[in-house]
Structure 1
């Protein structure tokens, strides 16, 4: 049952990653591009975390747990750094939009 929940979250985070990457490519404003890139990074980090947790369920051995721990640590580092970027650049997205709206 837990495996199905993790698979569901893996799919959801992959779709979120793909969505934000598409928004990044379609955006024309530089700060907005960085903001969407950071949001995609958060989704990717959560994807890696959930994938690592799923690995620990599928392969309940010492090697499986070590691999899962590596995925969780790497995913946490990626999502945390991207989250900080989202918070920082999110402050400037509305301002950039307002400045470029009149052009």
Structure 2
């Protein structure tokens, strides 16, 4: 049952990654483009974290735990740095939109 929950979150985060990556490609304003890229990075970080946790469930051995730890660490670093970028650039998105009407 827990495996299905993690698979659901893996699929949702993967879909969110492609959604924001598509918005990034279609956007013309530079700050909004960076904001969407950061949101895609956040979704990718969450994907890697959840994939690492799911690896612990599927492969409950020492090797599985080591691989999961690497995935969780890399995903946490990516998610944290992208979250900081989302917060920083998010405050300028509305201002940029108002200037470029």
Range of TM-score over shorter length: over 0.9
- Output the TM-score relative to the length of structure 2: 0.99
Specify every segment of 5 or more residues in structure 1 that has no aligned partner in the other structure, as ranges: none
SS at match of 2:100: helix
Number of equivalences: 101
Distance in 1, matches of 2:85 and 2:26, equals: 20
Aligned-residue offset at 1:65: 0.2
Runs of 4+ with deviation above 2 angstroms: none
Query: Partners of 1:82 and 1:50 in 2: how far apart?
Result: 16
**What corresponds to 1:10 in structure 2?**
10
Unmatched tracts of structure 2, length 5 or more: none
Q: CA deviation at 1:58?
A: 0.5
Partner of 1:85: 85
CA distance in 1, matches of 2:8, 2:95: 36
